[in-house]
Structure formats: structure tokens, C-alpha cells
Chains A and B, each alone.
Chain A
Amino acid sequence: MDVDQLDLNPRIVAAVKKAKLQSAREVLRLSGPDLQRLTGLSGIDARRVLQAASLGLRGSGVFTGCTPGLQCPLKPAQPRPRRRQQRVRLSECHPPAPLYTSPRPPSHPPSGDPQGLFPAAPPGTGEPHFSEEHPVVQCVRVSGESSSRAGPALQLYQQRARFPVQHQRLSLGCPVLDRLLRGGLPLDGITELAGCSSAGKTQLALQLCLAVQLPQQHGGLEAGAVYICTEDVFPDRRLQQLITHQPRLRAGVPGELLSKVRFGDQIFIEHAADVDTLLECVSRRVPILLARGMARLVVLDSVAAPFRCEFDSQALTARARHLQTLGAALRHLSCSFQSPVLCINQVHPHPSPLGSLAGQSWGRHVLCHGLSGSGAWLIFQVTEVAEEQRPAGPQGFSDERVSPALGTAWSNQLLMRLTAERARGKEEPARTLRVVFAPHLPPTSCLYTIGAEGVQGMPGTESC
């Protein structure tokens, strides 16, 4: 928001512009004393500037879903109810002209939106009504919160259509697994799925890519998925097999609906072998797909691979920085476009306290190689020597010597963590899907099997 549009004395605005501050966001990035120094204003005036900038950015109410000025390609209109004319200014809407040429027209009219993307504006509040050009981003601003209205958390609870982030989940395609996760993956935040090799993580990710394409009443989000591969090639054949067996897996969905959906066409595959390509992909290419509404799920398989081969023990701070940037970019995507993000992670063993250094490193090398899940790793540095000490607390694996890779720097970015484990040594491999931490779930687990039609939970095996 421009400094000119703030509620300030022109003298103060002139001083602010003289200090080369153009927008409210730039003003807010400075502390009070910094602002005083740069503009030469008094303390009270500097506070007024910050107050006015905050008011311009946040409005006067709660629940700003998408604020203007954020790097969202679609800027929402700001509600300004004019006297005697409840007309909303759409002149500040800037649709990105080159981007929005979607081949698929928006499939829902504004009045009866199944996905809740157009909030039904209560009369007389002057909320913006968006034209059909902006179907994806829900930008809601409630102006003028008065104390006589019902409080906000109550609205989060009662107005389900208006806040899909709180109530809607992406189904996994199996009712048992959905019950474990109380509906499925949340729409806002990064979900991590960690596990040893051949535990079934990629299978679950593929199943999600298909489930997201179904309509909302069947737990999907009616859009495609972006699949970012960092280590292996995309398992195309397995995907085709899953598509063929979809009717068997999703018995509750009517057959003609399944045959209408073109599953293979809506999965967009990206390859990123190193950290820079991955960051560029996540910050440039993926937002375009999400902004057009063509995809509403991002799968990153796997997040550990580029970081583990590029950073050795000396560069842990650089690795942490990159992880934070990646995490922030993914969270920003997830929040702006209300799309779940699933990151698949590997595990790493803890260094054993005894044993010689040489024997230790060799043993670890072999162990890590086996656990990496890929046969093409010739060079594998033992990177975990100076890593964190053994993390305390339940890591989600029955074998206490392993824990998810990438350490605290990555786990701070997550909303919830799931682990997939395969108990070896039995005839029928019992695979366990466990919730390690989530804000809305207790630490539970359940068993599942992998068949031709996909991942299915075994009913009656849920445990705490």
C-alpha cells in the first residue's frame, strides 16, 4: 500500500517520501528509532506513521485472509463502502495479464461455490465481491469489527464455508487412514512423511495426487498436483497402474465420475536435482500453476536428497539457511493458495557412542547407503558427524536409532509429521503409519498394506 494513501498529515507524508520509503511495508520494516533517524520526525510523529501504516496493511478487523501487497499475483480489491453506494472499487485489482490464460475455465459460478472460495458476504459489510477472473485466492477482509458481533473464533467454528482452512481436509483415499488423520491433510502448512526406504512413502504420495483431483464431496480439491522429484525418476508405470485400479480403491465414488476425470493429465512433474534449482522451482514455477488453479497439492519427493549430498558437516549453518528459505517458500505457497504441501523425508541413524572412528564411519556409510532408497549414490559423505546429538523424544520409529533427517532446522518448519515404517523380518510386512506430532491430533498409529490399487489402512489396528 502506497504511503500516499495513508491517513497522515501531508507534512509527515512528505518527510517519509523524502526518506525514500514508498510503501507501507517498507515503513513497517523499520523500528521506531530508525524511522525517526531516517525521516527526521519526532517520536510521536514516527509512532503515528507506524500506526497508520499498520492500519493500512491490516485494516481494522480480524481475519485478513490475504493482505494486499503480499507477493500474491492477484491483488484483492480493498473494500471502501462509499456513502449511499455500496460499490466496491475494483480498479485496484490487477489481474496478471500474461499468466491468467488458463485452458480450463473455472468450474464453479460465484454463487454456489462448492469449495468455499467465494465467501458469501454478509449484507452491508462492504466485503469485496470478486469477479470470475479470480477464482482461486480467497481474499477476505472484514472491515470494522464491532464488539456486538459474535467473536472471531466462533466464526471460525460456525462459518465452515468461509474458512476452509480450518474445516476442509484432503482425503488420503482410504477411510481408515482418513480417520487416523481426522479427515486428511490440512490445507495450510507443510506435512512431512518420513520413513526408511520401501516403506511406502512414494505410494502414498501418488495416491494423494489422484485423490486431490476428485470433487470436494469425495474429499478432493478438484484440481491437479505438482510433483517435484529430487532423486529418482517419476514412477510413471506405477501411476498408470494406480489409475487403472482407482475404481477398486474408491468404491464409494460413482464410476462415471471417476471415468470423467483425466487423472494423468493433471499431474505436473518437475525435476530438481540441487538446492538452487529446487528453490527456484518452488518460488517461481510452482506458484504459477497454483495461481491458475490447475494444481492444489504440492509433493516434494524427497526434501532430504538435495541437502544431504551438497552440504557437509562444516556447512551446517548454510544448510539451515537454505532449509529455512525452502520452508518459508512452501509455507507461503500453502497459505496463499490453500494447498496442502507434502514433503517426503528420509531417515538417518544416530552415531553410536562406542566403536572406532574408522569403523564407525564405514558402518554408517553402509547403513546410510542402504537407507537412502536409491541405488545410484556412489559418493555419499558421512555428514552426520557434527550434527545434532541424538534428539530426545519420540521420533516416531520403533527402532530408536533412527530419526528423520535434516534436524531441527527443518522440523521447525513443519505443521505435522507422519512416519511410515516397515517392520522387517515377518512374512506379512506390517507397515505402520504413525502421527508423531500435529496440532490437532494425538500421537496415534495404524497399520496399512500396499496393494495394486494403492495404500489401504487395516481397520481395527488404530492404537495410541
Chain B
Amino acid sequence: MQRDLGSFPLSPAVRVKLVSAGFQTAEELLEVKPSELSKEIRISKEEALETLQIIRRDCLTNIPRYAGTSESGKKCTALELLEQEHTQGFIITFCSALDNILGGGIPLTKTTEICGAPGVGKTQLCMQLAVDVQIPECFGGVAGEAVFIDTEGSFMIDRVVDLATACIQHLHLITGTHMEEEHQKALEDFTLENILSHIYYFRCRDCTELLAQVYLLPDFLSEHSKVRLVIVDGIAFPFRHDLDDLSLRTRLLNGLAQQMISLANNHRLAVILTNQMTTKIDKNQASLIPALGESWGHAATIRIIFHWDQKQRTCVVCTYVSSKVILKGTLKIFLLIFVTVTVFEHSKNLKFYFLTTVFLRREPMLVHFFASCTLRPKYLLKHRYGNFFYMLL
């Protein structure tokens, strides 16, 4: 910014000292630290800090904002939130089965946690998503950029180049059959260099660096407003070996989770965190559970657990709240109960009752409950074993 210092609302004494020290424009002051400035022009540190704050506030379009910004003061109705959720995009993973169970892909404005044993493909999925987030909108993507924070050193640029090349070829195949002008134009921009230039890579080696990077993310995201995906590959490693105090670890992780959620909401992006698996020994039975403890399990909105089933990789989606999924589930239960009760009422045959409950493996308790409410005890008592069956209910 080549703005003259005279145009800023500075105190005259400070202005005179700045001019005599040779500072002409605001640009020269942007890179200077307050301690250096105070030493150079011989003013107190507080004055130097205030001066620089005035200059930076006027120069930079997006300044760091702390809580108490316009976002939290806005009122929002639930209907508006519902509409927002329906219109938000998803980041497709190019695996149709995974996209189906997630309801379209990785959702924006939510945090997703991916857990799995080593070698199952968490880093591969993260690298894939860093490429997929850049797919143009006419192909169903979100046309965004990605931030990749690597704590394990597993980001290999050769592999990302392979994935990007494959994605470009796939999109070319699609346009080959459709030949629409909009698609062709979008594809011209979707080149390897462009894809790589929109993945911002950070390498953090321990939990302090990771925490520092996450504190700096809001400023970075304000400068790069097109970022739609933040990936932290390996959130478990820095926190597991470095911190002996488990309660401190829980507090730091909670703080991190809160920041991620607020980033996801404020900047409308998806946050992906990768977790390790650890062995839990319970009465001589060993099982694999996600690391970092129970309290971390509540941090992410969606948790995807990858595991091996024979030689096949499978994944389970846990703790996912989606309006579509819940609706389907509830409808199913009501239908089942309605059918069962109708059957009993009309057939008055207990054999049917037990046959139906055998088939309804998953909802027997609910069926029992509703059936006991509606079935009249009268004809149960008439039956030879009526008392027995009624007790079972």
C-alpha cells in the first residue's frame, strides 16, 4: 500500500519522528515489529504498538477478528439453517458407496474424523479429497482450495500428482461424451499446476507447532477465502507422545475441537481430522478403538472408522446426524410397529407374534412395548400359556 503516512490519524510527534527516520509510505511500516520501531525512532513500545495497529487496520482489508464479531451477533432461524444445510455442497470422494452412506460426500461446515489402523488408507483419502475439493462446480464439486496440515510427514507430492492427473483424466472422459461449452471452459483451468497451487501445505512436528498453526488459521483463511477444506493428517501423533498430563491433553484437544468447529462454521468449510487406533484390553479381550480417549469421540460431528474385513477395506460411519437418515429410520420403525400391531389384532394368533418378532431382529423391544400397549390382555389370558406370554411382554 503506497499510502502516505500523513493520511493516517497518527499523533504529530510520532509522525515527525517517522518522517525524520525516513519512513514515507505505509508499506515500509507493515513489515516492522513494534520493538524494532520503538528502538529506531525512539518512542515507547506502547506508542509503537498503537501506531502499527492504526496503520495495519487501515491497510489490511481482512484484519484478525476475535470473538464478538458480526457472526455471533446475527440472528438466525431454524428454517434458515435448514435451507442452508440443504443448499450446501458436499466434497465427493469418488467412491460411490462412501458418498452414499455420507449422504453425498464430506459435508461442508462440519468436522469429520477418519480413524483406522495404519495402512488402511486415511492419508490416501485425505490427499484424494484435497484434489476433489477443487473440482469445478459444473461437475458437481465445490471449486474450493485446500489446506493440508501434516504432522506425520506422510504427504508425498508424487502421489498427489498421480491423484490429480487421474482426476483430470476422469473429468476429460466425462466432457468427452457431453461436449458442453461450460464444461470445456472449466476444464481448461483444471490443470495439474492449478490443482497443486491450490493446496496449501503446512508441516508441524509436535503439538505446540500444531496448536500454533491452528491459532493462525483464521487469519490465513481470511486471506484465502476460497479454501473449502482443512485437513489435519495425524491429530493423534503429536498429542500422544508429548503430553504426560492427560487432563491437559483433554483441555488442549477440546480447545482445538472448538476452534475447528468455529472455523468450519465461520468460513463454510469442511474440516477433516485423522486419528489412529489403539488397543483396548477388556477382560482379556483386545479390541481396536480410536485413540485420544472418550472425550475426543464427541469432538467431531461425523466419525468414519476404516477397518479390514478379510482382505477388503470397509468403513463404518458412526455418530452421524443427518435429517435424511433419521427420517428414514424413524419411518421404518413406525411402519414395522403398525404392521405388527395390525397383524396381531386381526389374526389374534400368538404364533404370528413370535414369528414377526423373530424377523424384526433389530426392533424387538419397541415392538414388544407397542404390542403390549395395544394387545388386549383378555384373549391372552384365555390362551393356555397366556400368562407366560404376557409376562414376557
Contacts and interface: CB of A to CB of B under 8 A. Distances in A.
B36 interface: yes
B211 interface: yes
Contacts of A163: 157
Contact of B251 (A34, A334, A409): A34
A412 interface: yes
B251 A440 contact: no
B212 A58 contact: yes
B241 A325 contact: yes
Contacts of A408: 117-118, 276-279, 288
Nearest to A26: B208
Contact of A156 (B153, B157, B251, B281): B157
Interface residues of B, number: 83
Contact of A31 (B34, B64, B159, B254): B254
Interface string B9-35: 000000000000011000010011111
Interface in B58-110: 64, 66-68
Interface stretch (B167-175, B306-314, B358-366, B372-380): B306-314
B123 interface: yes
B311 A328 contact: no
Interface in A390-417: 391-394, 407-409, 411-415, 417
A83 B28 contact: yes
Contacts of A320: 278-279
A53 B68 CA distance: 21
Nearest to B212: A54
B49 interface: yes
Contacts of B213: 54, 58
A316 B281 contact: yes
A188 interface: yes
B215 to A, nearest CB: 4
B277 A154 contact: no
Contact of B208 (A57, A84, A325, A332): A57
Interface stretch (A4-12, A113-121, A238-246, A269-277): A4-12
B210 to A, nearest CB: 9
B224 interface: yes
B33 A7 contact: yes
A407 B201 contact: no
Q: Which among A28, A62, A392 has the highest number of chain B CB atoms within 10 Å?
A: A392
Contacts of B31: 81, 144
A147 B224 contact: yes
B242 A328 contact: yes
A307 interface: no
Interface in A22-51: 24-25, 28-29, 31-34, 43-44, 47-48, 50-51
B22 A83 contact: yes
A437 B118 contact: yes
Contacts of B202: 62-63
Contact of B49 (A4, A7, A335): A7
A151 B200 CA distance: 6
Given A51-B216, A147-B224, A408-B279, A324 B240 contact: yes
A32 B119 CA distance: 35
A265 to B, nearest CB: 31
A285 to B, nearest CB: 20
A415 B255 contact: no
Interface string A361-403: 0000000000000000000000000111101111000000000
Contact of B198 (A62, A151, A324, A412): A151
B237 interface: yes
A56 B305 CA distance: 37
B208 A29 contact: yes
Interface residues of A, number: 84
B276 to A, nearest CB: 5
B2 interface: no
A62 B219 CA distance: 13
A393 B287 contact: no
Contact of A9 (B46, B67, B207): B46
A415 B154 contact: yes
Interface string A52-87: 011101101011110100100000000011011000
A440 B223 CA distance: 31
A156 B284 contact: no
A206 to B, nearest CB: 26
Contacts of A157: 157, 161, 196
Contacts of A451: none
Given A10-B45, A57-B208, A389-B286, A50 B215 contact: yes
Contacts of B118: 408, 411-412, 414, 417, 437
B157 A189 contact: no
Contact of A63 (B66, B198, B203): B203
A63 B199 CA distance: 13
Interface in B143-159: 145, 148, 152-159
A91 B211 CA distance: 28
B160 interface: yes
A360 interface: no
A436 interface: yes
A440 B153 CA distance: 12
Contacts of A449: none
B294 interface: no
Given A328-B242, A412-B276, A28 B212 contact: yes
A154 B154 CA distance: 17
Contacts of B196: 151, 153-154, 156-157
B326 interface: no
A70 B205 contact: yes
Contact of B201 (A5, A34, A152): A152
A166 to B, nearest CB: 5
Interface in A190-222: none
Contact of B284 (A24, A182, A386, A440): A386
Contacts of B248: 29, 31, 34
Nearest to A407: B279
A28 B309 CA distance: 41
Contacts of A134: none
Contacts of A411: 117-119
A325 B241 CA distance: 6
Contacts of B277: 408, 412
A29 B239 CA distance: 11
Contact of B34 (A7, A316, A414): A7
B197 A439 contact: no
Contact of B279 (A47, A327, A409): A409
14 contacts: A7-B49, A9-B46, A43-B67, A58-B216, A62-B201, A150-B193, A151-B197, A153-B196, A153-B197, A154-B197, A156-B196, A324-B241, A393-B117, A439-B127
Given A4-B35, A9-B46, A328-B242, 14 more contacts: A9-B49, A44-B67, A57-B208, A67-B209, A152-B197, A153-B160, A154-B197, A157-B196, A182-B158, A188-B153, A327-B241, A411-B118, A415-B152, A417-B118
| Closest A-B pairs by Cβ, 3 of them | A437-B119, A393-B308, A151-B197
